[in-house]
Amino acid sequence: MAITLAVDCMGGDHGPSVTLPAIFEFLRHDRDCAAILVGREGDLRSHVDAVAAEFGSRISLHHASEVVAMDEPVASALRNKKDSSMRVAANLVKDGQADAAVSAGNTGALMAISRFVLKTLPGIDRPAICSILPSQRGATYVLDLGANVDCTPEHLLQFGIMGSSLAAALEHIERPSVGLLNIGEEDIKGNEVVKRAAELLRASDLNFAGNVEGNDIFKGTVDVVVCDGFVGNVTLKASEGLAQMIGGALKAEFSRNVLTKLAALVAMPVLKSFRRRFDPRRYNGASLLGLKGIVVKSHGSADQFAFRCALERAAEAARQRVPEKIAARMAAAGVFTVASASTITIGS
Amino acid sequence: MAITLAVDCMGGDHGPSVTLPAIFEFLRHDRDCAAILVGREGDLRSHVDAVAAEFGSRISLHHASEVVAMDEPVASALRNKKDSSMRVAANLVKDGQADAAVSAGNTGALMAISRFVLKTLPGIDRPAICSILPSQRGATYVLDLGANVDCTPEHLLQFGIMGSSLAAALEHIERPSVGLLNIGEEDIKGNEVVKRAAELLRASDLNFAGNVEGNDIFKGTVDVVVCDGFVGNVTLKASEGLAQMIGGALKAEFSRNVLTKLAALVAMPVLKSFRRRFDPRRYNGASLLGLKGIVVKSHGSADQFAFRCALERAAEAARQRVPEKIAARMAAAGVFTVASASTITIGS
């Protein structure tokens, strides 16, 4: 099945200078995919014309006159920029012209716009941001990473269902194990929200492994780690900061003098292989889950390789029909509410 | 001024086999310090007798018939073990026989016992656990790390005052900068507790630098980072997990084959210097702050070097009279309440 991505070419710190070459590379490798390039026609036309012969009908341009700034308040982006590139991309998913939208723009604005345009799936109160972190055993899916600062136990249960569906689809695991992030493994640990969430998760049909702690994310104890957006965001950013500090210190130690620089030359292949394994660019592309359609958020500072990884992640989520799978799981879990049961239209 | 430490010799994963040699090393280096070794006389007597000639009156043994198990429920430790080594150590501080207590035992039990025995300082609602994390610019003091899962804005303000006092004393900084851990730098970010806490911190006489994010802990943006115990605990453990994963992977890459092992030999001095800089043992010794006395918690898995670092940290906190400084700051901040103002007795 051909997959079409609607790509916000204007978002991120670098805009078209990164998004366009990443899209072209992606189309060269994923030959059953097409891309609709969304953004200012004046900025994009000549670049699209230059590759028109190579990609034919697999590439097209959709004009959007506005761009949401990286530091723009969410309310302003939602109310005043109805023709922004990220909103037009979301609209293309809603109208069924694209299977997924990808943007490196302002996270808060992308979430608000996606939610407004696509709406949430039946039974989902709040969409969540889910990203992948490397672990000793492979990868851990963690959500929420900042969309929801205050969560009820029911929200955390819904995050478990959404994260489990995504991990199942992208990692091809039948029943991903789900852990609840807490400050101890024992049931008595944590605040009231977490204790009640553990009860809900245990009563659900998820493969719930109980409480996990911060270090379990990187140990790979479970496939999916559920937490509120405040804890998730702080943990993600602290991990990024620590990895940067360690990387910087390693570089500094090897650059200290002539002898250490020689040692670096000898150690280079090993260090490169080490760096490749934890290259954060490979994990780029967070999923906005719980919407009636697929939206993937790239890191704002993504380079060409990182942005292409986000495009690939979006294409795979579309192939695996992740929103349909979440909807089915919600219905099976009985979370499906009568009020919202009247219409399920996903991405069209 | 001579400093006397009351050391729980029985706590931790290794008990006296680690605590005793660490204490002896500590006494050899810190010649103005004394230690009261607390624990089962049968386990300790021969070891103390063996060094009696070397240390003279600087070392003594105080029998405690019970030991709190590492996995023992807090309530059981508090109610049933009135002669536990950690409780006896706290009592020695309360009675003024020691200037600080150090234990590698069960964190929850140590906190509950310390709070019960020593009581909190006037104006302090809840004691907090404060630890030091390495940063690109030196060290960051982070609290709370798990004593309080639900915090009010007032608690977070108190943590700011306590952390600032500790950092000022141990790092010799006049007015340590204090950041509030949040999911964005803007004032509008975060939940209601954090927003209100920011107002309180801004109105206080602390050197408040505003909101900081997870990565700022390792960047060293501020000297002290304040957060609730849930977020702090998860962040600390996630960082430990990530550091372990990276360390393990680096080792694995260098052990892959003969060539990489040769590279490791060449790179060894550089890698050692790198490892030394981030050696978690150097940062061992978390302070239980807000009590009328000094209690330092060592990591349960601490080895001899790590435990000695915790002893040194406790001695320095005693030299700098940290609880008195916190009490003075609380009084100056006007947080000092009339109800609790009748008696201030610190450690005696």
pLDDT of residue B347: 44
A47 vs A39: CA distance, rounded Å: 12
A285 vs A298: CA distance, rounded Å: 5
Contacts of B230 in chain A (CB under 8 A): 183, 190-191, 231
Per-residue pLDDT band at A1 (split at 50, 70, 90): low
Q: Please say whether the dihedral angle defined by the alpha carbons of residues A100, A101, A104 and A107, taken in this order, is positive or negative.
A: negative
Tokens matching residue A61: 């341009």
Q: What sections of chain B are H helices per DSSP?
A: 16-29, 41-55, 74-80, 85-94, 107-118, 153-171, 192-203, 214-219, 229-254, 258-277, 304-319, 322-332
The pLDDT of B302-325, averaged and rounded, is 96
C-alpha dist (Å) from residue B340 to B91, B124, B133, B335: 21, 10, 33, 11
DSSP 8-state assignment for residue A205 = S
Tokens matching residue B89: 């150590």
Q: What is the mean pLDDT of chain A?
A: 91
pLDDT of residue B312: 96
Q: Which residue of A has its CA nearest to B239?
A: A239
Residue A30 scores a pLDDT above 70:
yes
Q: From the CB of residue B319, how many other CB atoms can be counted at a distance below 10 Å?
A: 17
Q: Distance between terminal CA atoms of chain B?
A: 17
B26 vs A211: CA distance, rounded Å: 39
pLDDT of residue B246: 87
pLDDT of residue B338: 37
Of A238-252, B145-159, B330-344, the poorest mean pLDDT is in B330-344
pLDDT of residue B1: 58
A229 vs A81: CA distance, rounded Å: 26
ipTM, two decimals: 0.87
**B34-80: pLDDT as tens digits:** 999 999 999 999 999 999 999 999 999 999 999 999 989 999 999 99
pLDDT of residue A248: 86
pLDDT of residue A162: 97
Decide: B160 and B224 in contact? Cβ < 8 Å: yes
The pLDDT of B169-187, averaged and rounded, is 91
The domain limits of chain A are 1-120+290-321+329-348, 125-286
More confident residue, B227 or B274: B227
Q: Do domains A1-120+290-321+329-348 and A125-286 have the same CATH topology?
A: yes
Contacts of B227 in chain A (CB under 8 A): 234
Q: Which residue of B has its CA nearest to A268?
A: B263
The pLDDT of A19-28, averaged and rounded, is 97
pLDDT of residue B280: 83
Burial class (CB in 10 A: 0-12, 13-18, 19+), B277: middle
The pLDDT of B288-296, averaged and rounded, is 97
Give the residue from A263, A274, A254 showing the smallest Cα distance to B256. Answer: A274
Amino acid at A229: G
Residue B334 scores a pLDDT above 90:
no
Decide: B121 and B326 in contact? Cβ < 8 Å: yes
Contacts of B234 in chain A (CB under 8 A): 181, 183, 213-214, 227, 231, 234-235
The pLDDT of A87-99, averaged and rounded, is 98
The pLDDT of B204-226, averaged and rounded, is 96
Decide: B225 and B141 in contact? Cβ < 8 Å: yes
pLDDT of residue B190: 83
Amino acid at A180: L
**Fold topology of A1-120+290-321+329-348:** Isopropylmalate Dehydrogenase (3.40.718)
* DSSP helix/strand/coil, A107: helix
Burial class (CB in 10 A: 0-12, 13-18, 19+), A1: exposed
Residue B177 scores a pLDDT above 80:
yes
B266, A270: Cβ pair inside 8 Å?
no
Q: Which CATH class is domain B1-124+290-348?
A: alpha beta
B181, A236: Cβ pair inside 8 Å?
no
pLDDT of residue A335: 52
Q: CB contact, 8 Å: B221 with chain A?
A: no
pLDDT of residue A303: 96
CATH number for the region A125-286 comes to: 3.40.718.10
Q: Which CATH class is domain B129-286?
A: alpha beta
Of A121-125, A245-249, B311-315, B343-347, the poorest mean pLDDT is in B343-347
